[in-house]
Structure 1
Amino acid sequence: MHRRSFLSSAVAGTAVTVSLAGCSALQMGGLEELEGVDPERQLPVPTLGDGAVTVEVYEDLGCPACHQFQAEVVPVLAEEYVESDEISYRHYDFPVDAADESVRMANAARAVQSETHEGEGDPNGQFFDYKSAVMASDDWSDDALAELASVVDVDPDVVSSALEDGAYYPTIVADRDRGEETGVGGTPTVVVDGSIVDEPLDPDAVASHVEEA
């Protein structure tokens, strides 16, 4: 079976809505929480796989289109490309106020990463598992974000403290600045070896960019 045929069959039976619609940075709020914050990469870029082809994904954890991407595209990329180390899948935060809690969700996820990562040996820690739990939740209050930390064996107080202090806002701003320099205007945006994918919610479109890189 050809890869593109595999990708199409992998999402058969699911309600795949392929469109360019997403959460636009041009239509959302001013991200007041991040105003005046200097960019600084405090943590490693969360990365899955170690392939030569880079797949950079810019997301707002409160964006419905990012939730669709998480549910329908990420599993296909993981099975077909991450597990075989053909790509390096890199997450960047690009909050666009898709939800009132967008910035705080990103901050909470970085707190979990900081608490659980082990330097170069494990730069992600429990970031991706916590991120998935947050996106699957229907309660993004500070208390709920803190309690979700227990799902990945992190003390909820770690997240509560980070939420109170805005501890990882510099990393979020660094990610946003990087995205803006790359041409990101909304979420999700997928960039394969420097090329923005026009249809990020279509697994075949993302796969075509990977295979042509």
Structure 2
Amino acid sequence: MTDATAAPEAAPQAPAPVPTPPASTPAPQAPAQPAAPAAPAQAEQVSDLPEWAQKIIGDARKEAGDHRAAKNAADQQLAAILKAAGIVDDKDPAAVLEAATKERDAAAQERDAAQRELAVLKAAQAVGADTSKLLDRASFMTTIQGLDVSDASAVKAAIEAAVAADPTLKTPRAGSASTISTAGGTGEQGPITEEQLARMTPEQVDKAYREGRLAHLL
């Protein structure tokens, strides 16, 4: 027999418990943004706008329409004027009208200058002034430029003032005048007609004036 009965084997020990890790701290969250206010609904039509806004838009549209209508009417009137004047051009009607206006003004200036010269011729004899010198004197012609040449007394007064300021404008003492050949070619010393006067040179006009052949035109 063996010695005392052998002691039973010790029971196996349970494994040591694994320590539980500490719970992680949650990350802080950003504060929630407030919800944006809803955008006001936009009006789809003018009729959806307030009355005051509708009135402003309506007035603006009416003004623009009136402006277009006035411009169209002016363009049509201008085209009618150019057509009546025999001016037909594909260029800008306003430019064509401006060119025509310049031509008209130039013709009017030439006409006025001729009328002033004729008025001087008629008034110079009574004053005893030299017409050629008067017409060649720029300062004198500028003086009478603003006068009404149909007013003979005003033209005469202007000539008298010019002669008083410059005695050399008086008619020189002339000897026997030579015969002036008129437009008809007769060479006679008779009165000069207005048609002949229009074709005569300044020298011929001066001679005819000194001979008294223009008296019936004065």
- Structures share fold, TM-score greater than 0.5: no
TM-score by length of 1: 0.24
Relative to total residues, which structure has the larger strand share, 1 or 2? 1
Higher RCO structure, 1 or 2 (CA under 8 Å, sep 6+): 1
Query: Higher helix fraction: Structure 1 or Structure 2?
Result: 2
